[in-house]
Amino acid sequence: MLLRSLNPLAVAQGDDIPDAIRIGDTTLSRGDVLGAATSVAERVARADRVAILATPTVTTVLAVVGCLIAGVTAVPVPPDSGPAELEHILRDSGAQAWLGEAPPDAAGLPVVPVRVHARSWHSYPEPPESSIAFVLYTSGTTGPPKGVLISRKAIAAGLDALADAWQWTRNDTLVQGLPLFHIHGLILGVLGPLRIGSRLVHTVKPTPAAYAAARGTMYFGVPTVWSRIAGDPESARALSGARLLVSGSAPLPVPVFEKVQELTGLALVERYGMSETMLTLSTRADGERRPGWVGVPVRGVETRLRDERGGDVPHDGESIGGLQVRGPMLFDGYLGRPDATAESFTDDGFFKTGDVAVIDQGGFHRIVGRESTDLIKSGGFRVGAGEVETSLLGHPSVREAAVVGLPDPDLGQRLVAFVVGDDVSEAALIDHVATELSVHKRPREIRVVESLPRNAMGKVQKKQLF
């Protein structure tokens, strides 16, 4: 039962915890969350779908949990949404009201307040496990954002699989400062502690100093967060008493992995997932952690690689193929987009992630990148942008790197690297890659830029580099 442990936080099954959730300067007990969220549920119980401006506040948490109690579908909205994106999400989702605060330019929908100090102990029946808990919107890199339908059953299966992989228990304290409109920060980072019964500290912003001061046993961060922590040795060393440091939402550069390990004594746990699948791959708390690799399937997940003709790709640690996944935590389709939903699944129920990967003989996975931007066909060779970027990041002059394939009349596509760094020498970087990797994987051109375009989760937006 999702709600019995997800929002009541097992209050009826054990003692209350006075510091169950801390967001910024606000702390709530388990009883506080249950009572206030039930009060929210009473105000929205007749709605079908409501929008939540997903600011990093307790108001957002109470709004989400209130929806779960009432069986109302929540639509988390990024606080920095532009007018066009905001209009699309509200229109496409069919949200009937704002729950909590609303953005200044979001006229037209009523606002239902969330009162942090209100309390109700009304009892609601558990909604069907197949009911939709969230409509989460994709980043919209290939068109208008699509609404991803995530059921209660998928959330429960995904969180329980992670509890198994990470040995996550009620004794943990999770620290994170990630956005609350995404799988990583909201479902894993808020609903995970609520379901499992562990404490949560949300730092509002994921700064090295805030992470160091939180004194948790588990930390979630995107690569940008870990890069900043690696650059702050004092804060990094303060994390050495933790049990797990987890990185996701974008590829973690190997040099950052190595620096964090050097400073903390802990090898980062890397994992892989997306809005449509939640987390399907992870290194395990009790298993190998290999820089640049995202581990093995979590409980209940099957994976496979397919070539362009739909054939099997060998699991030899080198051959690249399109990654397909199947498991109980997959989404229920795209809202109002049966065509896109059908195109995303195979006849036997595997989801085509759009990512390309390699799998070794032991089942370890390495994500090469997006099939649309990171699988580069140059001179008859298939090159994964990710391994070229990893090589570039190993050079002392490079802080950030993104590799794309640009049209070339001779090669089909030529490898072009956009780098952020100091005293960058084009010839030195090209030679560096050619020495570490096959010669055909070397960039043909290096472009030095001040910064790389990234989204809120730290992912490089390569379409903006073309």
What are the pLDDT digits (tens) for 326-338?
A: 999 999 999 999 9
| Residue found by looking up tokens 């980043």 in the block | 139
Render each residue's pLDDT in the chain as its tens digit; 466 residues: 444 444 433 333 556 788 999 999 999 998 899 999 999 999 999 999 999 999 999 999 999 999 999 999 999 999 988 888 888 999 999 999 999 988 887 668 999 999 999 999 888 888 899 999 999 998 755 567 899 999 999 999 999 999 999 999 999 999 999 999 989 999 999 999 999 999 999 999 999 999 999 999 999 999 889 999 999 999 999 999 999 999 998 888 888 899 999 999 999 999 999 999 999 999 999 999 999 899 999 999 999 999 988 899 999 998 889 999 999 999 999 999 999 999 999 999 999 999 999 999 999 999 988 887 777 888 777 787 877 888 898 898 999 899 998 988 878 889 999 999 998 999 999 999 988 887 888 999 999 999 998 876 567 888 888 7
CA distance 136 to 437: 39
Instruction: Establish if 307 belongs to a structural domain.
Output: no
Q: To 10 degrees, what angle do helices 58-70 and 30-44 make?
A: 60
Compute the radius of gyration of the chain from its Cα atoms: 22
The H or E element containing residue 365 is: strand 365-370
Instruction: Establish if 162 belongs to a structural domain.
Output: yes
- Quick one: which of 203, 206, 199, 198 has its CA closest to 248? 206
Question: Among residues 152, 168, 193, which one ends one of the domains?
Answer: 193
Instruction: Establish if 398 belongs to a structural domain.
Output: yes
Instruction: Establish if 293 belongs to a structural domain.
Output: no
Instruction: Establish if 285 belongs to a structural domain.
Output: no
pTM score: 0.85
Question: Among residues 164, 193, 222, which one ends one of the domains?
Answer: 193
The pLDDT of residue 143 is: 64
The pLDDT of residue 14 is: 54
Query: What CATH number has the domain bearing residue 188?
Result: 3.40.50.12780
Instruction: Establish if 206 belongs to a structural domain.
Output: no
The pLDDT of residue 142 is: 54
What are the pLDDT digits (tens) for 342-371?
A: 999 999 999 999 999 999 999 999 998 888
The pLDDT of residue 323 is: 97
Instruction: Establish if 340 belongs to a structural domain.
Output: no
Query: What CATH number has the domain bearing residue 433?
Result: 3.30.300.30
CA distance 206 to 167: 24
Q: What are phi and psi of 346, to 5 degrees?
A: -85, 170
What residue numbers bound the domain in which 394 lies? 375-465
At 124, list the tokens: 């609601």
Instruction: Establish if 136 belongs to a structural domain.
Output: yes
CA distance 296 to 166: 12
The H or E element containing residue 343 is: helix 338-344
CA 176 to chain centroid, in Å, comes to: 12
CA distance 59 to 460: 30
CA distance 73 to 332: 13
What's the domain count of the chain?
A: 2
Question: Among residues 165, 193, 221, which one ends one of the domains?
Answer: 193
The pLDDT of residue 385 is: 83
The pLDDT of residue 230 is: 95
